[in-house]
Amino acid sequence: MNADRAAGVLLVALGIFVIFQASRLPYWVDRSPGPGFLPLWLGVALAVCAATVLMRSAVTVPPTPEPSATVEVRARRRSVAVALTLFTAVAAALVPFIGFVASTAVLTAAAAWWLDPHRRAAIAAAALLTPALVWLIFVRWLSIPLP
Amino acid sequence: MLEHLISGFGIALTPANLLFAFAGALLGTLVGALPGIGSTSGVALLLPLTFGMNPTSAIILLCGIYYGSMYGGTITSVLINTPGESATVVTTLDGYQMARQGRAGAALGIATGGSFFAGTVGTAALMIVAPSLARAALAFGPPEYFALTVLGLSLLTGLTSGSPLKAAISAILGLLVATVGLDVMTGMPRFTFGLPDLFSGFDFLPVSIALFGFTEILSGADGAAPPSTRLSIRDTFPSARDWVQARWPIVRGTILGFFIGTLPGAGATLASFLAYAAEKRIARDPDRFGRGAVEGVAAPEAANNAAAAGALVPLLTLGLPGGTTTAVLAGALVMWGLRPGPTLFQDNPDFAWGLIASMYVGNVMLVLLNVLMIPVFVRALRVPYSVLAPAILVLCLVGAYAANNRMWDVGVMLAFGGVGVGMRVLGYSPAAFITALVLGPLAENAFRQSMQIAEGNAMIFLTRPISAALLAVAAAALAAPAFVRRR
């Protein structure tokens, strides 16, 4: 199944789910549209548009396979994207335990190391300077209560 | 009027007030460049600085922050594709593409020039046409607001260069996300699944940080090249050709932005989106938009700065804050013992005219400050990607948190970051999604209020002249592409 088709299936399912949920909300209240009015019609529109995407993807010729070198580069870069997301999620999860500023130090160090492990001095500088600036600007200057 | 204005300049040009105007422009630029800290938060956070100051100096400082933050948001939009301010989201579409082509300085220069022109013309318009425009803005009831948002939504497919069907789906998804939370009219929860954090819905800023800044970093790792680091002095400022291309979009953006700014609740974000969509719609070669078109930076930047001036019209002439930032300014005025409204210009002429004169002065400060700083901002792109990317991730994290001071929004940012990557890979439009997220609540509330007024009769939208005219333009905008294709 190609990506367009998978997205189409997912969006049709989402549209049906929205219609189901919206139908449980009042459609009309005091001679005017209720909280269920807009979501219901949005669900219908989403399901119809997504079904159109699905039908188009069924009749579209699939693209020719990419050269293996391109696929490898893409796979490597995708792994970096996943790693950066993971580091950010871990840093967010660490906030209740080590605080926001220390979490940003962890995130900076981990992400900089993953992207280029050879720049050790730059990694160390970034890991120290970034949280210091966060603390200085957001906590000291703007008085934002970072946890 | 001229006599009052000269007296206003006498107040604004005192050394102390010049210093406050400069400090406001500088602080505003810095605050606006921080994702999550928009003009409202900036003005509110820095309000305590004005305690003990005389009201004229205080409002000069706060208006400098307000103006400066509008421009500050542009810097990160252009350089790292992370909007510092909701009104600069649309600037990312072409501004960042210009940066990728080694033309970040040109983009920032056009934005500065457009902002200066719009701010100056907006201030002049505020001075000349404010009272009559404020009365016209009051003629906008719920049906007219609904028609205006429909016009905005009808221009959405113009924001993207990909499939119109996928742009429509993106807009529907944005509208759906906007319905999440407690229904404002009945208090009933919608799509909250029993989660209290969802009662207030999805905040615009964490979602926009996710779809633009966070996704950009992940997409950079997924194949696209990082911003260009080539730089010469010639590239640092816009060329004569850039100015020629930008001049009419700046004028149109200024007019549109000022008018929308005067409408209570509409704001600079809507103005910037509409200005961009309108420019793309009338362009001879709309395919250039989204690929680094100068007009795509000029029009929305002029619009959001003109809207900032326009938003002061209902505040100063009617005492009605048009948006959240002007609401904070209204609160500040009351705190200093002044009453914003029709009598402000008569009761406190020194304050009112000092403020207007200081807006001209503040605009000059802002343009000088930014022209001098452009080479510094652009050199930030020379930082290696392996250092810049983690710093941007940290900005995204802090920006998402600072929007409402809650970790929930960080989770929202992460989740929508995944959605954003999926949208990019599959050719859906984050810009259409985010515009619909902004316009959704405005459109739904205005629609339901109108229907309540008309007791369920939808003809209310066609029997009121302004609303009918706006809907006719929206219908024409939707029908035009099909008509052109058929010919």
Cβ pairs bridging A and B (under 8 Å): 170
Which of B385, B389, B407 has its CB closest to that of A92?
A: B407
Residues of B in contact with A4 (CB under 8 A): 426
Residues of A in contact with B385 (CB under 8 A): 115
pLDDT at B133: 67
B412 touches chain A (CB under 8 A): no
The nearest CA of chain B is from the CA of A58 a distance in Å of 15
The nearest CA of chain A is from the CA of B460 a distance in Å of 13
Q: B298: closest CA among B250, B255, B259? A: B250
The nearest CA of chain A is from the CA of B374 a distance in Å of 21
pLDDT at B226: 47
Q: Within a 10 A sphere around the Cβ of A139, how many other Cβ atoms? A: 14
Q: Within a 10 A sphere around the Cβ of B191, how many other Cβ atoms? A: 18
In this prediction the pTM is: 0.78
User: How far out from the chain centre does Cα B54 lie?
Assistant: 30
B188 touches chain A (CB under 8 A): yes
Which 8-state DSSP code applies to residue A61? P
Cβ contact, residue pair A35, B414, below 8 Å: no
- In tens digits, what is the pLDDT along chain A, a chain of 147 residues? 588 889 999 999 999 999 999 999 999 988 889 999 999 999 999 999 999 999 988 877 666 666 665 677 777 777 888 888 999 999 999 999 999 999 999 999 999 998 888 888 888 888 899 899 889 888 887 788 888
Q: What is the DSSP track for B171-199? A: HHHHHHHHH-EE-TTT--EES-TT-GGGT
Specify the long-range contacts of residues A86-92, CB closer than 8 Å, at least 24 apart. A87/A111, A87/A114, A87/B393, A88/B214, A88/B393, A88/B396, A88/B397, A88/B414, A88/B417, A89/B414, A91/B397, A92/B397, A92/B407, A92/B410, A92/B411, A92/B414
Which of A45, A77, A89 has its CB closest to that of B223?
A: A77
Cβ contact, residue pair B452, A30, below 8 Å: yes
Residue B439: burial class (beta carbons within 10 Å; 0-12, 13-18, 19+)? buried
Residues of B in contact with A115 (CB under 8 A): 221, 385-386, 389-390
Instruction: Name, in order, each residue with C-beta under 8 angstroms of B250's C-beta and a sequence gap of 6 or more.
Output: B113, B114, B117, B118, B298, B299, B302
Enter the tokens of residue B172.
């529907």
Residues of B in contact with A30 (CB under 8 A): 452
Cβ contact, residue pair B456, A116, below 8 Å: no
The nearest CA of chain A is from the CA of B28 a distance in Å of 12
Strand partners, B181: B190
Cβ contact, residue pair B387, A122, below 8 Å: yes
Which residues 208-267 in chain B show a CB within 8 A of chain A? 214, 217-219, 221-223
Residues of A in contact with B221 (CB under 8 A): 77-78, 80-81, 84, 115
Residue A125's alpha-carbon distances to A120, A128, B100, B377, in angstroms, are: 9, 5, 26, 20
Cβ contact, residue pair B389, A146, below 8 Å: no
Residues of A in contact with B165 (CB under 8 A): 49, 52-53, 56
Cβ contact, residue pair A7, B45, below 8 Å: no
pLDDT at B229: 46
Cβ(B328)–Cβ(B45) below 8 Å: no
**Would you state the torsion angle of the CA atoms of residues B56, B57, B58, B61, taken in this order, to the nearest 10 degrees?**
120
Cβ(B257)–Cβ(B302) below 8 Å: yes
Cβ contact, residue pair A39, B384, below 8 Å: no
Which of A26, A42, A138 has its CB closest to that of B398?
A: A138
Cβ contact, residue pair A42, B179, below 8 Å: yes
pLDDT at B295: 92
B187 touches chain A (CB under 8 A): no
B364 touches chain A (CB under 8 A): no
- In tens digits, what is the pLDDT along chain B, a chain of 487 residues? 777 788 888 888 889 888 888 888 888 888 777 766 667 777 776 776 776 778 888 888 888 888 888 788 888 888 888 777 778 888 888 998 898 888 888 898 899 999 999 989 988 888 887 767 666 767 778 898 898 888 878 876 655 667 888 989 999 999 999 999 999 888 999 999 999 999 999 987 788 888 877 887 787 654 444 444 444 555 667 888 889 999 999 999 999 999 888 876 667 888 888 899 888 888 888 888 888 899 999 999 999 889 888 888 877 777 766 666 777 777 778 777 777 766 777 777 888 888 888 888 888 888 888 888 777 777 766 677 788 888 888 988 888 888 788 899 999 999 999 899 889 888 898 878 887 887 788 889 999 999 999 988 999 999 999 899 989 988 887 776 666 555 5
Cβ(B283)–Cβ(B99) below 8 Å: no
Residue A17's alpha-carbon distances to A46, A50, B20, B155, B181, in angstroms, are: 11, 13, 55, 28, 17
Which of A31, A80, A95 has its CB closest to that of B455?
A: A31
Which residues 467-486 in chain B show a CB within 8 A of chain A? none
Cβ(B449)–Cβ(B173) below 8 Å: no
In tens, the pLDDT along B87-113 reads 888 888 899 889 888 888 889 889 999
CA separation for the pair B94, B108 (Å, rounded): 11
B343 touches chain A (CB under 8 A): no
Backbone angles phi, psi at B190, to 5 degrees: -125, 125
Task: Write down the residue that tokens 């548009």 correspond to.
Answer: A49
